Chain A
């Protein structure tokens, strides 16, 4: 075609916030709902902490104080990981399908908003609220430092696990939201995927591999270790156990006993395997989601 009319040049200045993120956050934080949810969440965490404290409260010596600190840290971290596992997909499962159901999707797709910005805006808005939930629990977790028994490195590892869980499981919700039309189906599929990948698959692999494990470390045990590292809960528990026992954070050299030889094999801690595995899955899911949103309807 000749005689094309040139469209007006892009005028948006660099550094302006993602409009979808601004809109979503405005909607999410408006009214009392967000603050009621935060308050309820903190009350729940507070109750758990109180029960842990009362279990140790009768006769606290120096050693018991350390134990109290560790237990408090573990309980809060596990609750937060469970929350991230099961709340993150719920925050994003309606992100794209909800726009379709509200009949606003086409309005968005005829603007100049790139598919990438739409997807990242939805993801970031869900994550921002998740991060808020994680951050408001930091003062409670900090009590563990007053009581002792927890190292800063452990807290950093716990935070990494939490962030990776929130990002990855939010990406699962977003992915299903882009491939199915209804939010209901997207939510169901997201939870099935989360349960399969984070709970069923690691347990199933462990059961299948368990009979092959002899004394000492073997390749079967190695695979089972990798499988257990996929689940946020087992990854967190095993990591914490290994840190507590050996004071190491990244990997250790394990002796592999084969029938004829003995070899040294580096074994990464579960939090590293977990982080790498889920960040790779997240990258794949996000790129598929973006291409789904970018594609013209056929």
Chain B
């Protein structure tokens, strides 16, 4: 059993279905990347898990506690960071953390030490007495993360923690998440930028149109790439004829014409191993198509994402 479990989780907003029968398991001690295009249902899932939103149907548990009936226990266990959040601009950094620590029922006697430790963890000790409003976006993001850690939660639910950050701030957040993982926290993190997640996650779940398209360990997800290849074919002419020929080939699952550059490039999804690619190239040139280049795109998780999602909601 996972530390996060959902069964048949469904959420409708009027006639719009945001989540449809979502079954999800997140194992304890993992960093689970929840990936999907904008509007796929990531935030809805996370808000249900944070006991903020009531599902239309289905159930969800965090550490065995129902998000519907044991909300207080769930809140004790999770640290939640929403995708969009505000800060109290008229508060100093230490006051902000002290306030939330008090909201998490931490006694005044230990809040001072705790605040200093949290600020050190997120590298904001030097801004302790500054007003929150004067912090950069990246710093506010780290402060919000420190806030979510005030009660030492077992599980962190982080909705797009790197969104809107500059490259340096993204790196800092990633480093922080790695450190938290090393501290034994289970991290359930969402992003629509797979590259941000790929580097730090142990597990990935891909969601689109409210449904889980794929989920597994990083190794399992990469395995999916090996059974399919993304190939670029550049021709000097006869581009439309080549596209039609490839579309009719039994080994080719999908073919599209790329509109970038000169428009003479096709991208094909080819089933099978590397031998299949060699055969396809031989047949292509043997048929008389003027092939200028034939190469495989680098197999990153991003490809899995692109292939599994159809861009329905993005």
Contacts and interface: CB of A to CB of B under 8 A. Distances in A.
A22 B102 contact: yes
Contact of B77 (A7, A20, A104): A7
A298 B86 CA distance: 22
Interface in A199-247: none
Counting chain B residues whose Cβ lies within 8 A of the other chain, the interface size class is 35 or more
Contact of A104 (B54, B73, B76, B86): B86
Contact of A107 (B3, B106, B147, B151): B147
Contact of A112 (B76, B80, B88, B108): B76
A89 B5 CA distance: 44
A135 to B, nearest CB: 25
Interface residues of A, number: 33
B190 to A, nearest CB: 15
A16 B107 contact: yes
B85 A112 contact: no
Interface string B183-201: 0000000000000000000
B1 A107 contact: no
Nearest to A100: B86
A97 to B, nearest CB: 13
Name the prevailing secondary structure of the A interface residues.
Answer: loop
A76 B70 CA distance: 52
A177 B303 CA distance: 47
Contacts of A107: 80, 82, 85-86, 100, 144, 147
Nearest to A23: B99
Nearest to B1: A3
B52 interface: yes
Nearest to A28: B90
A113 B64 contact: no
B106 A12 contact: yes
20 contacts: A1-B65, A2-B1, A2-B64, A5-B64, A7-B77, A8-B76, A11-B105, A11-B107, A12-B107, A22-B99, A23-B88, A26-B95, A104-B85, A106-B82, A107-B86, A107-B147, A110-B50, A110-B78, A112-B104, A296-B52
Interface of A: 1-5, 7-8, 10-13, 16, 19-20, 22-23, 26-27, 30, 102-104, 106-113, 296-298
